[in-house]
Amino acid sequence: MTGTEVREAVTRAHQEEWARVVASLTRRFGDLDIAEEAAAEAFATAVQRWPDDGVPPNPGGWLTTTAVRKAIDRIRRESKRDDKHREARMVHDDGPPEPAGAVDDDRLRLIFTCCHPALAAQTRVALTLRMVGGLTVPEIARAFLVADTAMERRITRAKAKIKAARIPYRVPSAEDLPARVSGVLAVLYLVFNEGYLASGPGTDPVRADLTTEAIRLTRLVRALLPGDGEAAGLLALMLLTEARRSARVSAGGELVPLAEQDRGAWDAALIAEGHRLVRERLAAAAGGVAPGRYQILAAINAVHTSARDMRDTDWSQVLALYDQLVRLDASPVIALNRAIAVAEVDGPEVAMAAVDRLEGELAGYHAYHATRADLLRRLRRGHEARAAYDRAIELAGNTAETAYLARRRDQLR
Amino acid sequence: MRYLFSVIHDRPTLATPEEDAAIDVFNERLQAEGNWVFAGGLAAPDTATVVDNRSAEALVTDGPFLESKEYLAGFWIIEAADLDVALALATDGSKACNRKIEVRPFL
Distance from CA of B88 to the nearest CA of A (A): 10
Task: Enumerate the residues of chain B whose CB falls inside 8 A of the CB of residue A166.
Answer: 1, 81-83, 105
Beta sheet of B36-41, edge-to-edge order: B36-41, B71-79, B2-9, B100-105
- Smallest CA–CA distance from A175 into chain B, residue: B88
* Confidence at residue A210, expressed as pLDDT on a 0 to 100 scale: 85
Distance CA(A165)–CA(B13), nearest Å, equals 31
* CATH code of the domain in which A378 resides: 1.25.40.10
Domain boundary among A25, A45, A80: A80
* Confidence at residue A93, expressed as pLDDT on a 0 to 100 scale: 46
Q: Do A165 and B105 touch (CB under 8 A)?
A: yes
| B82 CB within 8 Å of a chain A CB | yes
| B11 CB within 8 Å of a chain A CB | no
| A115 CB within 8 Å of a chain B CB | no
Report if residue A360 sits inside a domain.
yes
Q: Do B1 and A166 touch (CB under 8 A)?
A: yes
Domain boundary among A46, A80, A114: A80
* pLDDT tens-digit map of A133-180: 888 898 888 777 789 999 999 999 999 999 999 999 988 888 888 889
Report if residue A246 sits inside a domain.
no
Report if residue A11 sits inside a domain.
yes
Per-residue pLDDT in tens (0 to 9) along chain A, 413 residues: 788 888 899 988 998 899 999 999 999 999 999 999 999 999 999 999 999 999 999 999 999 999 999 999 999 988 877 655 554 444 444 444 444 445 567 888 999 999 999 999 889 999 999 999 888 898 888 777 789 999 999 999 999 999 999 999 988 888 888 889 999 999 999 889 888 876 665 667 777 888 998 999 999 999 888 889 999 999 999 999 999 998 998 988 899 999 899 999 999 999 999 999 999 999 999 998 899 999 999 999 999 999 988 889 999 999 999 999 999 988 999 999 999 999 999 999 999 999 999 999 999 999 999 999 999 999 999 999 999 999 999 998 788 899 999 999 999 87
| A164 CB within 8 Å of a chain B CB | yes
Contacts by A9-13 with C-beta closer than 8 Å and gap 24+? Answer: A9/A50, A9/A55, A9/A59, A10/A43, A10/A46, A10/A47, A10/A50, A12/A59, A13/A43, A13/A46, A13/A59, A13/A60, A13/A63
Distance of CA A144 to the CA centre of its chain: 13
* Confidence at residue A82, expressed as pLDDT on a 0 to 100 scale: 64
* CATH code of the domain in which A36 resides: 1.10.1740
Distance CA(A337)–CA(A357), nearest Å, equals 13
Task: Enumerate the residues of chain A whose CB falls inside 8 A of the CB of residue B82.
Answer: 90, 92, 166-168
Is residue B86 pLDDT above 70, yes or no? Answer: yes
Distance from CA of B55 to the nearest CA of A (A): 32
Distance CA(A348)–CA(A339), nearest Å, equals 9
Highest CATH level, class, for B2-105: alpha beta
Average pLDDT in chain B: 93
| B50 CB within 8 Å of a chain A CB | no
Distance CA(A246)–CA(A123), nearest Å, equals 30
Distance CA(A200)–CA(A205), nearest Å, equals 8
End-to-end CA distance of chain B: 9
**Structural domain count of chain A:** 2
Report if residue A307 sits inside a domain.
no
Distance CA(A217)–CA(A213), nearest Å, equals 6
- Smallest CA–CA distance from A119 into chain B, residue: B83
Residue A314 neighbours by CB distance under 10 Å: 14
* Confidence at residue A190, expressed as pLDDT on a 0 to 100 scale: 87
Report if residue A221 sits inside a domain.
no
Domain span at A41: 3-80
Residue A69 neighbours by CB distance under 10 Å: 14
Report if residue A72 sits inside a domain.
yes
Q: Where are the domains of chain B?
A: 2-105
**Dihedral of the alpha carbons of A275, A280, A285, A287, in degrees to the nearest 10:** 150
Distance CA(A178)–CA(A180), nearest Å, equals 5
Report if residue A407 sits inside a domain.
yes
Distance of CA A398 to the CA centre of its chain: 18
* Confidence at residue A202, expressed as pLDDT on a 0 to 100 scale: 60
> Which of B83, B103, B105 lies nearest to residue A168, judging by beta carbons?
B83
* Confidence at residue A278, expressed as pLDDT on a 0 to 100 scale: 97
* Confidence at residue A196, expressed as pLDDT on a 0 to 100 scale: 84
Distance from CA of B58 to the nearest CA of A (A): 34
Query: Is the Cβ–Cβ distance between A229 and A289 less than 8 Å?
Result: yes
